[in-house]
Amino acid sequence: MRFFSHIAAILALAIFAAQPAAAQSILRDAETEAFLDDISKPLIEAAGLEPNNVDVILINDPSINAFVAGGQAVYIHSGLIDAADTANEVQGVIAHELGHVTGGHVIRIGEGYQTAANISILSLLAGIGAALAGGGEAAMGIIAAGQQAAMGKFLAFSRTQEASADAAGAEYLSKAGITGKGSLAFFGKLLNQEFRRGISQKDESGFYRTHPLSGDRIAKLSEVYERDPAWDAPLNQKWETNFARVKAKLEGYVADPEATLRDYPESDTSIPALYARAYAYHKDALVERALETTDALIAKAPEDPYFLELKGQVLLESGRPEEAIVPLRKAVDLTRAEPLIASSLGHALIATEDKANFEEAEQVLRAAVGRDRYNPFAWYQLGVVYAARGDMARARLASAEQQVMRRQYPLALRSAQAAEAQLPYGSPDWLRAQDIAMEARALMEQMCEMDRANCDKRRR
């Protein structure tokens, strides 16, 4: 039984590596996404990839981590942004993760699992042979040693991938003309974290490690970076300025207001501090203070769309949608209808409960989902507009779109089937309803394969 439990653990590790984002929430913000796209573009190009095909996605998780999970997507934890001091440090992490993408490491994790499984099977057979020969204790020892060897082989495979990604990341930074100082600084943070946790930096602990020793990584990368022509390249001040804004905004959004106000006291009148405090006040339901702080931001940069978006958000979420429309409409114009900001405008128009605003809301929301389909809230709002005018077929289709993104597959299937039954046969919307229904069925079956007992229970 112990053999099968260890193999199941290895398999579970492989499954987690392929789908870690499923259990974590994604943070979406127009300014943050634009910033991440901007700082990652030269690295993506240096890696030989197409920037439009690679997504850098922010996950709401306070731990310092980043990962890839199949496809061309890099996931970054909010805790990593909080821990970083510069945009350059974040670029070092993104470059490393792109090394995993180009190395096909998520796909190749199956190779490591298969090697480990083969070792375990051989040890099991040897153990059975020893047991049949009358050596019960010897048999258990052989099986246990085989399990340990299998896990060691799997973790060694993981460490090899990490070392490969380190080397690739250094190459991409160099090709992009970006200094590796930030990469080394961030590895230094990880090393300090290991020291605080009492994690040994000696090789004997390496058998149980998924990553190479941080000290070794720093030593190897230092040799590479310090002789690179880009080592003394100056930091991009636009990126660094925008990073300070994004970091402050993120803290204001996810952290406890008391912590935010401690980190960004009222004596600090810089843009990042005002940004962080505006969110903190808004979270504390101090509406007028939030608006005063937002107005101070707008006074510094009247045409900044993200400051206008923030004012619209505070007004909208404080029950003042009519007032929110003006700053949100201007933000949409300044960003050429950025989908996330357009979704907020659509929401404000609907929240007025004035039917005269619904036609504009539909136009804004349809344009938003046309440019960014992966926006469940926009689909929900669009469904509200369709339902208000009695177009229940498209209202159900919009519901199916947002339900499948929220992993509500049974609901998505029912909504898609209801929409398909009412939409004109062969129309684009009818075909889309069919696609969603097939997708929902496939994902339901996939979930059942991973959790057959609970799935059968739900079906009964």
Between 114 and 230, residue with greater pLDDT: 230
Indicate if the pLDDT at residue 51 is higher than 70: yes
Q: What's the whole-number average pLDDT of the chain?
A: 84
Model confidence pLDDT, tens digit, residues 74-84: 999 999 999 99
pLDDT at 142 over 50: no
What distance in Å separates the CA atoms of residue 202 and residue 221, rounded to the nearest whole number? 18
What is the structure's pLDDT at 455? Answer: 67
pLDDT for res 452: 64
Dihedral angle of Cα 367, 371, 377, 382, to the nearest 10 degrees: 30
Report in angstroms the alpha-carbon separations of 436 from 140, 204, 272, 384, 419: 51, 51, 42, 19, 10
How close are the terminal C-alpha atoms of the chain, in Å?
Answer: 30
The residue length of the chain stands at 460
Can you give the pLDDT at residue 447?
83
**Beta strand extents in 268-335 (DSSP E only):** none
pTM (2 d.p.): 0.81
Is residue 379 within 8 Å of 369, Cβ to Cβ?
A: yes
- The CA distances from residue 281 to 6, 31, 250, 288, in Å, are 49, 20, 14, 9
Q: What is the pLDDT of residues 331-384, one digit of tens each?
A: 999 999 999 999 999 999 999 999 999 999 999 999 999 999 999 999 999 999
Residue 446 pLDDT class (50, 70, 90 cuts): confident
Lowest model confidence (mean pLDDT) among 2-6, 94-98, 430-434: 2-6
Residue 4 confidence (pLDDT): 34
pLDDT tens, residue by residue, 261-315: 999 999 999 999 999 999 999 999 999 999 999 999 999 999 999 999 999 999 9
User: In this predicted structure, what is the pLDDT of residue 120?
Assistant: 39
Task: Report the relative pairing of strands 66-68 and 55-59 from DSSP bridges.
Answer: unpaired
Residue 163 is predicted with a pLDDT of 85
Reported as a single tens digit per residue, the pLDDT across 380-425 is 999 999 999 999 999 999 999 999 999 999 999 999 999 999 999 9
Q: Which amino acid is at 267?
A: S
Instruction: Give the CA angle between residues 224, 230, 231 to the nearest 5°.
Output: 60
Are 53 and 72 in contact, with CB atoms under 8 Å apart? yes
Supply the pLDDT for residue 453: 58
**Long-range contacts of residues 217-222, Cβ cutoff 8 Å, at least 24 apart:** 217/163, 217/166, 217/187, 218/184, 218/187, 218/188, 218/191, 220/166, 221/166, 221/170, 221/180, 221/183, 221/184, 221/187, 222/184
Model confidence over 33-43: pLDDT tens digits? 999 999 999 99
Position 146 pLDDT exceeds 60: no
